[in-house]
Amino acid sequence: MVQNVVSSGSTSVGSTITLDYQVKNQGTENAFSSYTLFYLSKDKNVSDDDIYLGSDYVDSIAAGAYSSESTTLNINNGIAAGSYYLLCQADGNGDLIESNENNNVFAQSININLIKTDLIVQNASAPSSVSVGESFKISYQIKNQGVGNAFPSSTMFYLSKDKTVSNDDLYLGSNEVESIAAGAYSSQTSSLSIVKNVTAGSYYLLYKADGYNNVIETNESNNVFAKAISVKNSFSSNNGYGLINAAAAVAKALGQATFADVSNLGGNNWGADLIKAPEVWAKGYTGQGITVAVVDSGVDRNHQDLSANIWKNTKEIAGNGKDDDGNGYVDDVYGWNFVGNNNNTLDKNGHGTHVAGTIAGMKNNFGVTGIAYNAKIMPVKVLGDDGSGSDSAIAKGIRYAADNGANVINLSLGKEQPNNDIQSAVQYASSKGAIVVMAAGNASSSKPYYPAIYAKYWGLAVGAVDKYGNMADFSNLAGSDLLSYVTAPGVNIYSTLPGNKYGFSTGTSMATPHVAGVVALMLSAKKGLTEAEVRKIVTATAANNFTA
């Protein structure tokens, strides 16, 4: 039997009560261990209509002895206020055979009160205008204008077309709020971002106090505060942020307005003209001091238009058969070949050499002038002479470039299926400050191939346009998920080929080095730009955003 129960005769919905009691064995035999069960009931009898509150384990009790116990019970928010009996049932699971099974229940009156809380949002502030993909700060206060203490709760945030929360709203996040005394308020701040491809326009930012409805309030209809907000979205599922603008990007990196237009080069250099690279050159920024890794089929480092701009590992002594710099690769004076696992990075395919010329072909009045014509090209061979390559080789090549000082990594490659090693390598390179520039792919798909799709988190994805700025019909598009996707010239691009040759090629592979070159110009103009800053500047100054 239960005896000497000590507990509060009154408590509140959502609170806890502490219960002290004794379980006595008034029989003549030892009682084995058992459970005491607790209920809220409208009468003094245990039935299926009662509200189960929990149990407490009781050790064995000798004949004539008792065990003093203490437990804590929760009165959850779903319990209606009113008068009840707190039932304490010894041997609640019926584990023991007793001489009297009818005297196990102890009943004590208890009143359950409704806490008279009322949470509202007040003094909310937020920017009047925000852009998709950018974080913004908000501040607000949660006030308890009721007469009872409010328990901890969460404030939730939505983007809505009206002032009410509905399933059509875009959920932006939540913020935990500690308990608030009656009449008091809690000042809060939070950082939000609109990360979906939301249509530009006028919205309401909704702040909803007690968003999960954990707190029972006297007024449940006044929790939402609505603040008008304008959403800007220059991102298109077709061309992302639009055509990259070298002049605007480099100027913004320097904290200046875009550079003045200069005369076009014309001819086969129309790609440089279209993205306004000559405007940057006129200011003296040509990629000097920047290394761009071409992770591709190799590079013809002896080409007349490239030889002066090939990166050299000065820590390595050529031909001595030793790993002088301790980077794990022997005699990697001109990069490394991850296909043949040797130091021969020469290109027989032509793809890598064509890419290299667009990035850093020398400005010498013949051939092609690269976008960053004073940058250095680091050859990293990950594709064979037939253009094929393993995921492992590509991943290792990316890591090699990042570990050996590449500021920019050009990936004019990709496929439809993801690969964890390549994803990890892209993330690794970005963590080391390298900007990874990735081709969107040439399958006319509605979204980029891998690894370009990782531009949601790291680096830049690049689609292709023709000389008129129109999307190429083969180019994979930006897709519905917000990612750092821009376009660049990729149709009939003239550039270097092995053996001091030149030729035209088409694809997002050709668009990508245009963007890699622009990034090199940015880094040469403004030392110390972070990967995140480059991504932000490039997308903010591309055609869909740009205003002169």
Give the total number of structural domains in the chain: 3
- Band (pLDDT 50/70/90 cuts) for residue 283 is very high
Q: Which two tokens stand for residue 450?
A: 């891998």
DSSP-derived letter for residue 45 is S
**CA-CA distance, 80 to 113, in Å (whole number)?**
8
Per-residue confidence (pLDDT) for residue 11, from 0 to 100: 87
- Residue-wise pLDDT tens digits, 332-371: 999 999 999 999 999 999 999 999 999 999 999 899 999 9
Helix residue ranges per DSSP H, 361-507: 391-403, 420-431
Closest to 437 measured CA to CA, from 281, 541, 335, 292 = 292
Per-residue confidence (pLDDT) for residue 116, from 0 to 100: 80
Check whether 546 has a pLDDT greater than 80. no
Q: What average pLDDT does this structure show over 475-501?
A: 97
380 shares a domain with 252: yes
303 shares a domain with 168: no
With both helix axes pointing from N to C terminus, report the angle between 508-525 and 246-253 in degrees, rounded to the nearest 10.
30
496 shares a domain with 467: yes
> 308 in helix, strand or coil?
helix
Burial per residue of 355-368, b for 16 or more beta-carbon CB atoms within 10 angstroms, e otherwise: bbbbbbbbeeeebb
- For the chain, the average pLDDT equals 95
DSSP-derived letter for residue 236 is B
CATH number for the domain harbouring residue 225: 2.60.40.10
In Å, how far from its chain's centre is CA 300? 38
- Residue-wise pLDDT tens digits, 287-307: 999 999 999 999 999 999 999
CATH number for the domain harbouring residue 253: 3.40.50.200
DSSP 400-430: HHHHTT-SEEEE---BSS--HHHHHHHHHHH
Q: What average pLDDT does this structure show over 102-115?
A: 91
Query: Could you count the other beta carbons within 10 Å of the beta carbon of residue 475?
Result: 28
Per-residue confidence (pLDDT) for residue 151, from 0 to 100: 84
Q: Which of 182, 197, 232 is the last residue of a domain?
A: 232
The total number of residues written for the chain in this structure:
548
In Å, how far from its chain's centre is CA 347? 37
Q: What average pLDDT does this structure show over 371-388?
A: 97
DSSP-derived letter for residue 300 is -
- Residue-wise pLDDT tens digits, 434-459: 999 999 999 999 999 999 999 999 99
Confirm whether 107 is domain-assigned: yes
**CA-CA distance, 172 to 189, in Å (whole number)?**
14
- Phi, psi (5° rounding) for residue 54? 145, -170
Q: What average pLDDT does this structure show over 131-159?
A: 92
498 shares a domain with 349: yes
For residue 45, give its domain range.
2-113
Check whether 407 has a pLDDT greater than 70. yes
Check whether 19 has a pLDDT greater than 90. yes
- CA dist list (Å): 428 to 262, 416, 457: 39, 21, 12
**CA-CA distance, 188 to 139, in Å (whole number)?**
6
- Phi, psi (5° rounding) for residue 409? -125, 120
Q: Percentage of residues in the chain with pLDDT exceeding 70? A: 100
Q: Percentage of residues in the chain with pLDDT exceeding 90? A: 89
Closest to 497 measured CA to CA, from 398, 389, 354 = 354
Per-residue confidence (pLDDT) for residue 207, from 0 to 100: 98
250 shares a domain with 215: no
Closest to 411 measured CA to CA, from 440, 448, 437 = 437
Closest to 178 measured CA to CA, from 188, 192, 163 = 188
With both helix axes pointing from N to C terminus, report the angle between 391-403 and 420-431 in degrees, rounded to the nearest 10.
10
Confirm whether 423 is domain-assigned: yes
Per-residue confidence (pLDDT) for residue 548, from 0 to 100: 60
Q: Which of 182, 203, 232 is the last residue of a domain?
A: 232
Q: Is the peptide bond before 152 cis (omega within 30 degrees of 0)?
A: no
Name the residue type at position 18.
T
**CA-CA distance, 486 to 464, in Å (whole number)?**
9
46 shares a domain with 31: yes
Q: How big is the CA angle at 79 (ends 77 and 209), to the nearest 5 degrees?
A: 25
Q: What average pLDDT does this structure show over 66-84?
A: 91
Closest to 258 measured CA to CA, from 270, 241, 244 = 244
Q: What is the CA radius of gyration of the chain?
A: 35
H-run or E-run covering 186: strand 185-193
Q: Which two tokens stand for residue 430?
A: 């970005």
**CA-CA distance, 533 to 484, in Å (whole number)?**
12
- Residue-wise pLDDT tens digits, 230-254: 999 899 999 999 999 999 999 999 9
**CA-CA distance, 44 to 81, in Å (whole number)?**
18
The residues annotated as belonging to the active site are 296, 351, 509
81 shares a domain with 148: no
130 shares a domain with 90: no
Q: What is the torsional sign of CA 307, 311, 314, 316?
A: negative
325 shares a domain with 189: no
Per-residue confidence (pLDDT) for residue 451, from 0 to 100: 98
Q: Contact, 348 vs 501, CB < 8 A?
A: no
Confirm whether 252 is domain-assigned: yes
262 shares a domain with 198: no
142 shares a domain with 284: no
In Å, how far from its chain's centre is CA 497? 39
Q: Which of 113, 141, 173 is the last residue of a domain?
A: 113
Q: Contact, 63 vs 81, CB < 8 A?
A: no
DSSP-derived letter for residue 252 is H
H-run or E-run covering 366: none
**CA-CA distance, 495 to 503, in Å (whole number)?**
6
Q: What average pLDDT does this structure show over 34-40?
A: 97
First-to-last CA distance in the chain? 86
392 shares a domain with 489: yes
Confirm whether 267 is domain-assigned: yes
Confirm whether 360 is domain-assigned: yes
Confirm whether 240 is domain-assigned: no
